[in-house]
Structure 1
Amino acid sequence: MTAFTLDNPAGVPSSPRKAFSNVAVIPLGERTLLMLAGQVAWDDDHQIVGAGDLRAQTRRVMELIGQVLAAHGATLADVVSLRTFLTDISHIREYGEARNECFQGLPAPTSTTVEVSSLFVPEALIEVEATAVI
């Protein structure tokens, strides 16, 4: 018996060649844990949105996170943790400002942000993983 399910919600770009699932859904009795795979700012054709623009990419990533959450009855208000990978940490303020726009009026989730030398999509400036509890 599997204690979790893996899902690629309709309307959310899945990984090329279905290399990974967008979310693991883990029942915890009265609650459910949603562990989202890292999202990059791509469109349905796996083309990066906002090339060279961290703010635009952050907004797109948060939009995709919101879509994955919505498919499971959750919203950004249910996010308890974010793990962010930036290709240039000197732009952390831009990321923070764009992220805060998306979480406006909500408690800030726990957050870890690190710099990486590159991401799996060369044009991507950011990748964000999220964990939510519903």
Structure 2
Amino acid sequence: MQITLGNPAGAPQPLNSYYSQVARVEQADGSALLFVSGQIAEGDTLAEQSRGVFEAIAALLGAHGAILADVISIRTYLTDIDKLAEYGAVRQRFLTGTPPTSMTFEVSRLFRPEAQIEVEVVAAVPAGRAGL
């Protein structure tokens, strides 16, 4: 098993911290699992931030030959669970296939005071896809 940690060029870079955005775990059959760190985005509304989060996730996945349809698990952290429907409407525009496994949590705050949402995902990339 080979594990690659890093921050792909052309994808969003970590904000105010030192960590890897993606862990890529190569499987024996040539497929890979991608573990994408929690993503936040700028915006005044939860919908704007949610859109930015999914755009960032799509860019990170794309750097590894994956697409949003490859997401198999998603964890969402919201600062206001009463806005779940607003987030869900954006999520459904980006994740259009079979829904991944999912967990959603309400948290008192995130590491940036203006952040209303943070999302992390796991994706399964089929063998033969381009990537790092």
Structure 1 equivalent of residue 95 of structure 2? 103
Structure 1 equivalent of residue 107 of structure 2? 116
Distance 1:83 1:75 in 2: 17
Distance 1:11 1:39 in 2: 15
The answer on 1:94 being equivalent to 2:93 is no
CA RMSD of aligned residues (A): 1.3
Distance 2:4 2:17 in 1: 15
Q: Secondary structure at the match of 1:120?
A: coil
Distance 1:12 1:6 in 2: 14
Structure 2 equivalent of residue 78 of structure 1? 70
Change (3 A) 1:17 1:60: closer
The answer on 1:32 being equivalent to 2:36 is no
How far does the alpha carbon of each residue in 1:30-53 deviate from its partner, in whole angstroms, 9 at most, with x for none?
A: 220100000001xxxxxxx212x0
Could you tell me how far 1:15 is from its partner in structure 2? Answer: 1.6
Q: Percent identity?
A: 48
Change (3 A) 1:33 1:93: same
User: TM-score of the superposition, structure 1-length normalised?
Assistant: 0.88
2:53 aligns with one of 42, 52, 61? 61
Task: Give unmatched runs, 5+ long, in structure 2.
Answer: 126-132
Task: Give unmatched runs, 5+ long, in structure 1.
Answer: 42-48
Contact 2:72 2:100 in 1 (8 A): yes
Could you tell me how far 1:17 is from its partner in structure 2? Answer: 5.2
Distance 2:12 2:69 in 1: 22
Matched positions, count? 124
Distance 1:82 1:34 in 2: 12
Distance 2:37 2:124 in 1: 15
The answer on 1:133 being equivalent to 2:124 is yes
